[in-house]
Structure 1
Amino acid sequence: MPLSKFLNSIGLEQNAQKVYLALLGFGDAPCSRIAKKAEIKRTTAYNVLENLIKQGLVSSYKERGVRRFVAESPSKIRNTLEAKIFTLEKYLPKLQSFYNIARTPMPIRFFEGEEGIKQISEEILNNKEKIIYSFGSIKDVKQAIGSSISFSKRRQAKKIFHKSLRTRDDKFRPGYLENQEKQLKEVRFLPDDVKIPEMVYLFDNKVGVISPKKEGTGFIIESDGFFQAVKALFDIAWSISQSTSKK
């Protein structure tokens, strides 16, 4: 493999190659000398040098007020690649799990119409783990699942705790956001720029999605792997959510 092709494969584009190879020949030099040797503009060379410093291939120091650049040993390239491989090995099992989820057929049940959507509601309430996670907007969905008051009362009667992320412009009935602990729930606001017209429910090892009433459709995916993937996204959103308490 030609040297230029190898350097390109590790992320060094043409100007970066010219600058790095020129600097290897000098050992250390000011930017102007490097730019002349690499046959590129001084400002371009300076930007390239800054990027090479970030990659650990170049360092710099000042001598008599002039900034000079030093090429690090080429063995640093190997160290950088080994560090990337180490990081890849760390995250590979997680990446593989997403790959497996994508390749594994998941049981999906589709529901249509008012009765179908109510079936999803009933399945959510028949919750073995006694906890529901949800996110989205219910203002266009609640007509499809029936009275939100009825759903909430039945959930509380079954001692099911509800952690919910809602859009700030959602429609809340009076008292919904008050005494949340007593109502066995915790509600937080999604960031203002996040708009989700559907309601997504996570329960047991299932993910249920209910679309707005005008579409009248929904589905449930039963898969532990898919549940864990969506739950991880929920946890990230929860960490940046905003309190619903009035100050």
Structure 2
Amino acid sequence: MDYIKKVLLDAGLEDLEIEVYLNLLKIGEAPVSTIARKIGSKRTNIYNVTEKLSQKGFLSEINKSNVKYFSAMDPKKILYSQKQQKDIVERNIHNLEEILPQLESLKDPYALKPRVSFYQGKEAIGSLLIQTLEEPFDAYFNPDEAYNLFPKSIEDFQKHSAEKNLFIRELLTYGRLSKKYIKEVKNPNHKCKILPKRYNFFTDNFIFHDKIIFISYRTLIAVVIENEDIALTQKQAFEIMWNSCI
């Protein structure tokens, strides 16, 4: 049952919605009052849940003597509906890929103003660390600061890095957790070097082909700058440091 709930959660249902749907599968048609009594929840909550489930295609409804009765949609019909939605999404992605060159050609080549985004708070920055694994990058990284604030995000980072086998190069600060970080690297394309002790920094810098990300652990602020020229300059500076570091 736990696995069933997990799958339904991944499909976009909330806990109470899952409970209502599974109970209606068992009992068949029922009005809100019966569902509320069966689950032990307030009617107002069940009214909201049945409306959401109907919109999501998990319930059908019928009026009997001016009373709404709800029943769970056949799981096979839900699967068929989900597959149809998947086909539509895949078709849209394919169509967008086809017209991408034409859309790109419409961009103003002189619009070079960098796009800047700000992130603040532990949760936002932890999520941003995982998002860095969308493409190869170079980075200046302070494991001591990162492990202190985001041990779970670092664990997830290492796991996803190994799964994706992205090309990553990181210059690490000389700290007590730098060697631990290197030992936990499972991606053969993830290379690390430890900087001399005299080089210390308190922000992590991630350098991509068209953007850079600065993360300040002390203030819990991150800045993303999207601009190819700025990224290229940072990448060249990183190259010098990488080649000079043993």
| TM-score, normalised via structure 1 length | 0.49
Higher relative contact order at CA 8 Å, sep ≥6: structure 1 or structure 2?
1
| TM-score, normalised via structure 2 length | 0.49
| Structure number having the greater helix percentage | 2
